[in-house]
């Protein structure tokens, strides 16, 4: 009981002190390094990949799996977007590039006062504006702490529903259930299958977040928010988001503007648009397959 009372009291003291040093018009900028790991064993097309092959694939996918994002925030608003950088030689094409451009989230705007979420998204050359009510996770607060940079952070956990096309949680579909099928039928199925048929996404994932009440705003990277302090680290499934630098009240402040361009859709409507496009691509893939294989 004494330990809990001390935790609550210290939390309140930090919040009171921190709130007193933040002006009403303050702004901050936080830089986040993100990294997503992939299970290379499941992507060998039915054959075992060597360690060298896994490394080659990982090197080619590095710019897709490791990114830097910038969160510009005030007391009520924030904008989270990928830091612009020059593309590395040889990184401009291929399946990874298509996935990155089509499935990675565009700039995300959150207004915690008006409960507004907006995402500027491009998909196959068309601009969309995803608009939703800002929803928070049901965070379970913990008393465990750790230091991130100069900030003391507290732990919180939650269960998050995963978007159907969140590439960070995509994995090779487990075909173990199909082992008893007739090999002829299985070969026929493989001919008909497209790349998206081989991918699945879990319904939910466990999230661990670390936030600091020393920066008393309920903002965070990506679509994470709703804690009594800025979220500095997130571990969600196979993705880690870690804050590497914070600048409070920069000399040149950036105006946080809500995006307003593109066809306005909900997340559900956007998912339906992606699904339709994937079906079209699968039909094209199947059509080419029926055309027969080329012989030398």
CA dihedral 130, 80, 35, 40 (to 10 degrees): 10
What is this structure's pTM? Answer: 0.75
- Separation of alpha carbons 265 and 255, rounded Å: 25
pLDDT at 189 over 60: no
Number of domains in the chain: 1
State both tokens at 42: 């499941």
Give the model's pLDDT for residue 163: 76
- Whether 234 is in a domain gets the answer yes
Residues 15-35: tens digit of each pLDDT? 554 444 455 678 999 999 999
- Whether 293 is in a domain gets the answer no
Average pLDDT, the chain: 77
Which residues, other chains included, contact 16 with Cβ-Cβ below 8 Å and sequence gap of 6+? none
- Whether 295 is in a domain gets the answer no
Per mean pLDDT, which range of 40-49, 52-61, 180-189, 204-213 is the poorest?
180-189
DSSP 104: S
- Whether 291 is in a domain gets the answer no
Average pLDDT value for residue range 122-149: 93
pLDDT at 223 over 80: yes
- Separation of alpha carbons 4 and 8, rounded Å: 6
Give the model's pLDDT for residue 257: 92
Ranked by mean pLDDT, which of 10-14, 255-259, 277-281, 291-295 comes out on top? 255-259
Average pLDDT value for residue range 156-162: 92
Residues 55-80: tens digit of each pLDDT? 776 666 666 788 999 999 999 999 99
Average pLDDT value for residue range 36-59: 66
Cα separations (Å) of 30 from 74, 75, 83?
Answer: 11, 14, 11
Per mean pLDDT, which range of 118-127, 160-169, 180-189, 265-274 is the poorest?
180-189
- Whether 290 is in a domain gets the answer no
- Whether 211 is in a domain gets the answer yes
Containing domain of residue 11, as a range?
A: 2-280
Average pLDDT value for residue range 3-11: 50
- Whether 245 is in a domain gets the answer yes
- Separation of alpha carbons 168 and 61, rounded Å: 13
The confidence band for 153, taking pLDDT boundaries of 50, 70 and 90, is very high
State the CB neighbour count (10 A cutoff) for residue 117. 19
pLDDT at 90 over 50: no
pLDDT at 259 over 70: yes
- Separation of alpha carbons 130 and 259, rounded Å: 10
- Whether 276 is in a domain gets the answer yes
Phi and psi at 278, nearest 5°, equal -65, -35
pLDDT at 94 over 50: no
């Amino acid at each position: 009981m004494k330990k809990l009372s001390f935790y609550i009291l210290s939390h309140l003291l930090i919040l009171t002190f921190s709130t007193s040093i933040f002006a009403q018009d303050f702004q901050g900028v936080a830089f986040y390094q993100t990294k997503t790991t992939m299970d290379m064993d499941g992507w060998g097309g039915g054959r075992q990949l060597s360690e060298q092959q896994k490394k080659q694939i990982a090197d080619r996918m590095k710019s897709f799996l490791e990114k830097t994002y910038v969160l510009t925030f005030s007391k009520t608003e924030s904008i989270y977007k990928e830091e612009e950088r020059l593309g590395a030689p040889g990184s401009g094409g291929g399946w990874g590039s298509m996935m990155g451009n089509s499935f990675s989230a565009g700039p995300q705007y959150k207004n915690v006062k008006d409960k507004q979420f907006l995402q500027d998204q491009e998909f196959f050359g068309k601009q969309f504006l995803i608009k939703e009510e800002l929803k928070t996770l049901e965070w379970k607060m913990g008393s465990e702490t750790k230091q991130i940079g100069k900030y003391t952070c507290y732990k919180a956990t939650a269960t998050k529903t995963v978007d159907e096309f969140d590439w960070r949680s995509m994995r090779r579909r487990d075909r173990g259930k199909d082992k008893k099928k007739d090999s002829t039928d299985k070969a026929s199925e493989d001919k008909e299958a497209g790349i998206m048929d081989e991918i699945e996404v879990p319904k939910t994932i466990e999230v661990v977040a670390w936030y600091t009440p020393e920066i008393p705003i309920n903002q965070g990277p990506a679509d994470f928010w709703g804690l009594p302090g800025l979220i500095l680290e997130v571990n969600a499934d196979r993705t880690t988001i870690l804050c590497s630098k914070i600048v409070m009240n920069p000399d040149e402040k950036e105006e946080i503007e809500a995006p307003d361009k593109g066809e306005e859709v909900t997340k559900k409507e956007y998912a339906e648009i992606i699904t339709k496009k994937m079906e079209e691509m699968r039909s094209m893939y199947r059509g080419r397959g029926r055309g027969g294989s080329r012989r030398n």
